[in-house]
């Protein structure tokens, strides 16, 4: 899963890839076994370290309170009487993950010693609250000179500090350290027997190999990622198709009896075991093997199981034989574009990737990754609280639909922020979207009859009046830019801004009855409606019908813009002198540099700023910009 993240680069947001990388948490290091001195039956203790090169500097072994060896070590220990209560307290204190980082380091000496296999040194075995049973082996070697946490712990409990890596410049004083020296890229090993003089980078593989050769350790890679326990004590979930028989043990439900369905009338008490356990007609069954009485598994699967592969079914939703036809999935997959909240960055999207690997290994799918491109859209917030499935609607959708209609809500969410950004809901701003849609409605309502009367929709552009040309140009320019905002950039907010601008421009040309033929009005208003349709489908459908269409707009294709009509008669080019705008000239598009310069020099403001100085350079970006550099 880690390696295949590379396949997602470019298609997935970088931060999601990084979050998954961190979550998987690959860590390369070594495991080393320390024998326990004198205690029969206890040990050895296996520790995990990424810095085996510092092992000569280990001055203690520290175990997690939950480590299984702790109890054994304490048995018959001289200090048992005082340490056992401490252990009990440590095990009892439930530590919140958030507090871990700031929590005071606590520990106690077990009274036992371990033998460092590298130098046969006897070092004390401690128990420390900062060592986690869930990570690595639940036991560490404390190297105070080269690990900040170990340094703090050892200084607190007066354990010795021994420097085993000296920096290339300066020398560390073990008794006066307040910051551990943990740079592994630089330094030379000291006090490390045969490994003296090596750099940590050289020493790490050598010392791991040495440990393996001597049989007390080896290089190993561990992961932070934990097992996924998929069972839940819930009703809503997929039943786990397993039967427990007193004679045959755990037996899978036979294929012909799949799927196992949830009982329709569960007793939901909110107490005790899974709701299914309280439903005898579900629980009691017969063993598929021996036919004798047996019980069903009553836990259900985590809903993440379903969300990890539901999308395959979309390729073949009516298949009643198998979940999907492989050929269909092979055709459609991987998913070209997946859209979801950033909240799914690790759980759902990691499980889905995992599930895909399992299916691939079972031969059920052919691809390595289920989702080629991922877009994480922002969340709607109100007062900093995100609107989501788990938190609920912070904005009343019903209420809003009642007041403004669903289309206004859609338009507003798209308009107020770019799609990848979180959006702070504003009751005031939504009014603007509502007003805009009303403006569009009134406009089309006003011209509906004229448009309806148009028989032949063909627009004769050559015969267009000035007013008509202005309108046609604007609408095709808008269409060109909206198309690009939709297709290549997903900038719905700026696309809407363009459509608003177009609407404003059409209003500015009112009354259209004067000088704008009905077929031109039809063209302009239909394109306006088509552009709005993806965002306000209900309204657009109604407007479409008002303009005489009997077939639904949803069947219409996205229009293509007319290059010729979109072209400007003249372009306004800012004229800069030394990079500052001093005037503007209007020229036909495609004018040559000398032509533009000639007109530009006629501008009084430009002439004034040149003021006798020599133009040493001129930069002309066709139809965009002219910059005259004077010295």
Choose the binding region for RNA from 94-102, 275-283, 315-323, 330-338 (rule: CB under 7 A): 94-102
Name the minimum Å distance from CB 140 to RNA: 5
Residue from 124, 266, 278, 418 touching RNA (CB under 7 A): that is: 418
Choose the binding region for RNA from 10-18, 313-321, 518-526, 533-541 (rule: CB under 7 A): 10-18
Name the minimum Å distance from CB 66 to RNA: 10
Return the biggest CA–CA distance within the chain. Answer: 109
Dihedral, 453, 457, 462, 468 alpha carbons, nearest 10: 60
Choose the binding region for RNA from 125-133, 197-205, 235-243, 332-340 (rule: CB under 7 A): 125-133
**What are the DSSP calls for 38-77, one per residue?**
S-TT--PEEEEES-GGGGGG--EEEE-TT-THHHHHHTT-
Cβ distance to RNA smaller for residue 257 or 513? 513
**Distance from the Cα of residue 196 to its chain's centroid:** 46
The answer to whether 5 touches 26, Cβ cutoff 8 Å, is no
Tell me the three state secondary structure of residue 180.
Answer: coil
Choose the binding region for RNA from 129-137, 244-252, 292-300, 349-357 (rule: CB under 7 A): 129-137
Residue from 80, 188, 295, 439 touching RNA (CB under 7 A): that is: 439
Cβ distance to RNA smaller for residue 53 or 299? 53
Q: What is the dihedral sign for C-alpha 124, 128, 133, 134?
A: negative
Q: How far apart are CA 589 and CA 566, in angstroms?
A: 12
Give 226-233's long-range contacts (Cβ < 8 A, gap of 24+): 226/134, 228/302, 228/304, 228/351, 228/354, 229/302, 230/301, 230/302, 230/304, 230/305, 231/299, 231/300, 231/301, 231/302, 232/274, 232/299, 232/300, 232/301, 232/302, 232/303, 233/273, 233/274, 233/275, 233/299
Cβ distance to RNA smaller for residue 408 or 529? 408
Choose the binding region for RNA from 162-170, 261-269, 278-286, 422-430 (rule: CB under 7 A): 422-430
Name the minimum Å distance from CB 575 to RNA: 9
Q: Considering the rule CB under 7 A, would residue 89 count as an interface residue with RNA?
A: no
Q: Which phi and psi angles does 156 have, rounded to 5°?
A: -60, -40
Q: Considering the rule CB under 7 A, would residue 491 count as an interface residue with RNA?
A: yes
Name the minimum Å distance from CB 576 to RNA: 6
Cβ distance to RNA smaller for residue 286 or 504? 504
Exposure string (b/e) for 347-371, b if CB count within 10 Å is 16 or more?
Answer: ebbbbbbebbeebeeeebbebebbb
Q: Considering the rule CB under 7 A, would residue 613 count as an interface residue with RNA?
A: no
Cβ distance to RNA smaller for residue 420 or 460? 420
Name the minimum Å distance from CB 67 to RNA: 10
Q: Considering the rule CB under 7 A, would residue 619 count as an interface residue with RNA?
A: yes
Q: How far apart are CA 354 and CA 376, in angstroms?
A: 19
Residue from 2, 4, 10, 15 touching RNA (CB under 7 A): that is: 15
Site for RNA in 350-389 (CB under 7 A): none
H or E element in which residue 617 lies: strand 615-621
Q: Considering the rule CB under 7 A, would residue 438 count as an interface residue with RNA?
A: yes
Name the minimum Å distance from CB 383 to RNA: 13
Cβ distance to RNA smaller for residue 29 or 370? 29
Q: How far apart are CA 214 and CA 55, in angstroms?
A: 15
Give which of 567, 562, 583, 565 is closest to 625, Cα–Cα: 583
Residue from 122, 214, 489, 538 touching RNA (CB under 7 A): that is: 489
Choose the binding region for RNA from 96-104, 185-193, 195-203, 548-556 (rule: CB under 7 A): 96-104
Q: Considering the rule CB under 7 A, would residue 421 count as an interface residue with RNA?
A: yes
145 class by beta-carbon count within 10 Å (0-12 exposed, 13-18 middle, 19+ buried): buried
Name the minimum Å distance from CB 2 to RNA: 14
Q: How far apart are CA 133 and CA 145, in angstroms?
A: 24
Name the minimum Å distance from CB 223 to RNA: 9
Site for RNA in 42-71 (CB under 7 A): 48-51, 64
Number of shown-chain residues binding RNA (CB under 7 A): 87
Q: Considering the rule CB under 7 A, would residue 436 count as an interface residue with RNA?
A: yes
Give which of 85, 97, 162, 179 is closest to 130, Cα–Cα: 97
Site for RNA in 569-588 (CB under 7 A): 572, 574, 576, 578-582, 584
Residue from 2, 10, 18, 452 touching RNA (CB under 7 A): that is: 18
Choose the binding region for RNA from 204-212, 233-241, 352-360, 622-630 (rule: CB under 7 A): 622-630
**For 106, which DSSP code?**
-
Residue from 433, 478, 562, 591 touching RNA (CB under 7 A): that is: 433
Name the minimum Å distance from CB 141 to RNA: 7
Residue from 488, 514, 550, 563 touching RNA (CB under 7 A): that is: 488
Q: How far apart are CA 386 and CA 378, in angstroms?
A: 9
Choose the binding region for RNA from 269-277, 454-462, 481-489, 543-551 (rule: CB under 7 A): 481-489
Give the tokens for residue 348.
């759902």
Q: Considering the rule CB under 7 A, would residue 149 count as an interface residue with RNA?
A: yes
Name the minimum Å distance from CB 246 to RNA: 41
The answer to whether 552 touches 544, Cβ cutoff 8 Å, is yes
Residue from 500, 556, 566, 597 touching RNA (CB under 7 A): that is: 500
The answer to whether 577 touches 594, Cβ cutoff 8 Å, is no
- Quickly tell me which residue has 């299916």 as its tokens: 359
Residue from 484, 538, 564, 589 touching RNA (CB under 7 A): that is: 484
Name the minimum Å distance from CB 123 to RNA: 14
Q: How far apart are CA 298 and CA 234, in angstroms?
A: 9
Name the minimum Å distance from CB 238 to RNA: 26
The answer to whether 381 touches 422, Cβ cutoff 8 Å, is yes
Name the minimum Å distance from CB 106 to RNA: 7
Residue from 496, 527, 532, 539 touching RNA (CB under 7 A): that is: 496
Q: How far apart are CA 578 and CA 618, in angstroms?
A: 9
The answer to whether 196 touches 165, Cβ cutoff 8 Å, is no
Give which of 107, 84, 85, 103 is closest to 94, Cα–Cα: 103
Q: Considering the rule CB under 7 A, would residue 411 count as an interface residue with RNA?
A: no
Residue from 105, 218, 467, 517 touching RNA (CB under 7 A): that is: 105
Name the minimum Å distance from CB 157 to RNA: 13
Site for RNA in 327-356 (CB under 7 A): 342, 346
Q: Considering the rule CB under 7 A, would residue 624 count as an interface residue with RNA?
A: yes
């Amino acid at each position: 899963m880690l390696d295949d993240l590379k396949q997602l680069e470019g298609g997935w947001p970088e931060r999601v890839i990084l979050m998954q990388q961190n979550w998987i948490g690959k860590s390369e290091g070594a495991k080393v076994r320390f024998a326990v001195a004198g205690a029969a039956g206890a040990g050895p203790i296996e520790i995990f370290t990424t810095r085996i090169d510092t092992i000569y500097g280990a001055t203690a072994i520290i175990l997690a309170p939950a480590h299984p060896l702790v109890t054994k070590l304490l048995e018959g220990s001289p200090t048992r009487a005082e340490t056992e209560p401490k252990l009990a307290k440590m095990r009892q204190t439930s530590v919140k993950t958030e507090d871990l980082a700031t929590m005071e380091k606590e520990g106690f000496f077990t009274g036992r010693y371990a033998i460092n296999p590298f130098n046969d040194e006897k070092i004390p075995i401690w128990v420390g609250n900062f060592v986690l049973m869930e990570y690595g082996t639940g036991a560490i070697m404390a190297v105070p000179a080269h690990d900040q946490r170990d340094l703090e712990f050892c200084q607190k409990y007066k354990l010795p500090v021994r420097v085993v890596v000296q920096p290339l410049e300066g020398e560390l004083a073990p008794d006066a350290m307040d910051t551990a020296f943990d740079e592994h890229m630089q330094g030379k090993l000291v006090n490390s027997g045969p490994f003296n003089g090596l750099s940590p980078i050289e020493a790490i593989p050598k010392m791991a190999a040495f440990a393996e050769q001597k049989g007390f350790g080896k290089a190993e890679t561990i992961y932070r990622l934990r097992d996924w326990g998929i069972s839940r004590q819930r009703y809503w979930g997929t039943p786990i198709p397993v039967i427990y028989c007193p004679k045959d043990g755990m037996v899978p439900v036979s294929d012909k009896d799949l799927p196992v369905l949830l009982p329709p009338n569960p007793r939901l008490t909110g107490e005790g075991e899974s709701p299914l356990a309280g439903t005898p007609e579900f629980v009691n069954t017969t063993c598929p093997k021996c036919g004798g009485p047996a019980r069903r598994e009553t836990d259900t699967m985590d809903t993440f199981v379903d969300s990890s592969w539901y999308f395959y079914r979309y390729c073949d939703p009516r298949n009643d034989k198998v979940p999907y036809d492989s050929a269909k999935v092979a055709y459609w997959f991987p998913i070209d574009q997946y859209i979801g909240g950033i909240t799914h960055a690790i759980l759902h999207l990691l499980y889905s990737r995992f599930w895909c690997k399992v299916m691939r290994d079972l031969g059920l799918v052919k691809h390595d990754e289920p989702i080629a491109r991922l877009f994480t859209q922002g969340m709607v917030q109100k007062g900093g609280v995100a609107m989501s499935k788990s938190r609920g609607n912070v904005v009343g959708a019903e209420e809003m639909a009642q007041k403004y209609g669903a289309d206004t809500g859609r338009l507003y969410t798209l308009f107020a922020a770019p799609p990848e950004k979180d959006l702070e809901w504003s009751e005031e701003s939504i009014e603007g979207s509502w007003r805009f849609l009303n403006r569009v409605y009134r406009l089309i309502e006003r011209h509906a009859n004229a448009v309806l009367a148009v028989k032949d929709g063909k627009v004769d552009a050559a015969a267009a009046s000035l007013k008509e040309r202005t309108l046609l140009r604007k609408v095709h320019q808008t269409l060109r830019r909206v198309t690009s905002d939709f297709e290549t950039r997903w900038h719905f907010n700026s696309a809407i801004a363009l459509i608003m601008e177009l609407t404003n421009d059409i209003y500015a040309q009112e009354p259209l009855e004067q000088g704008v033929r009905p077929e031109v009005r039809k063209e302009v208003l239909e394109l306006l409606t088509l552009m709005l349709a993806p965002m306000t489908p209900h309204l657009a459908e109604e407007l479409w019908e008002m303009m005489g269409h009997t077939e639904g707009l949803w069947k219409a294709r996205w229009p293509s813009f007319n290059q010729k009509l979109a072209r400007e008669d003249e372009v306004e080019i800012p004229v800069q002198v030394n990079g500052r705008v001093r005037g503007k000239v209007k020229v036909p598009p495609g004018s040559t540099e000398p032509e533009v310069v000639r007109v530009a020099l006629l501008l009084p403001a430009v002439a004034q700023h040149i003021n006798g100085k020599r133009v040493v350079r001129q930069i002309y970006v066709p139809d965009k910009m002219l910059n005259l550099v004077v010295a």
